[in-house]
Amino acid sequence: MQTSSIASFSAAYGSSPASNEASTLKAGSYLYRKTEGFVLNIYMVQLPNTSKAQEIRFQAPYTHQMWLGADGSGRIQRIDGKPEFLSVQDRAVWEAAGKPSLSPNFTIDHKAGELVDSTVLPVDQTLLTQVIHNRVKQNNSAIESGMFDETLSILVTLQTKSELNRPLFEVMANIPGVTRSENVTDRQGRAGISLNYTDSQTGKQTRVIFDPQTYNVLSDEVVLLKRVPELNVSTPFLLSWTTYSVPKAVASTSSLPSKLC
């Protein structure tokens, strides 16, 4: 028996709902975005003659592509790269388990309506802050870190209207403990503004870089600043990084933009 638990910040495994931006497209066209990243994974396996499941900890690059149509149809595709085991022991467990595949590669085609989401968020910053605060409170999460994560989750799906980018940025910027840095660049060399938050309980520091004009998220990364027993790695340790292309219209679910940025 094998199960997998993906310790990814950016929800790259999920299928995001169709966006309101997609609803402005011409019939038959799609909104496309490419996400690339490097993430920590934890894969659980049950070895023969053992009663307790064992962990396989590794990091791997991935590419995630999404095509979303105005009618809620689309395609979601994910391709993972070669895993890098955190330790010799992790590799040994993987080998003892029969070297199972650690790459959840897939392509899923969705029919009309399958990716539709009727969620409506207010553009007013005060109301938007309250909505996000309430979501976090219902999940019994720590308010500051929960609001930071929830806001980022909204920003990096194609669900969000472009006019919500700036209010969401302001919501995140005004969370207690968040700091702002100007004139930064992401891994692709794109200039932006970063918002940074350190969770003192988990020891994780998250940096999100925004386009200074559109407030699209360009990238995010999560760094572990203090050692934790379950990982036993030297710190600071990069848990994950993700880059996001700017959403662009394409003609079909097999088409790509002429230029990604």
pLDDT one-digit tens code per residue, 97-117: 999 999 889 999 999 989 877
Residue 258 lies in a domain: no
Q: Is residue 25 part of a domain?
A: yes
Query: What's the mean pLDDT in 125-131?
Result: 97
> 234 lies in which domain range?
2-250
Check pLDDT > 50 for residue 218. Answer: yes
- Indicate whether 259 belongs to any domain: no
> Cα–Cα distances in Å, from 195 out to 31, 45, 122, 133, 207?
27, 37, 22, 18, 6
Question: Would you say residue 257 lies in a domain?
Answer: no
In the structure, what pLDDT confidence band is assigned to residue 128 with cuts at 50, 70 and 90?
very high
Number of structural domains found in the chain: 1
Q: What is the pLDDT of residues 22-37, one digit of tens each?
A: 666 777 889 999 999 9
* Neighbouring residues of 157: CB distance < 8 A, sequence distance ≥ 6: 11, 16, 17, 19
Predicted local confidence at residue 8, as pLDDT: 37
Give 251-260 pLDDT, tens digit per residue.
999 999 987 7
Q: Choose from 8-17, 47-56, 239-248 the range with maximum mean pLDDT.
A: 239-248
Residue 256 lies in a domain: no
Report the sign of the C-alpha dihedral through residues 243, 246, 250, 253, in that order: positive
Model confidence pTM above 0.85: yes
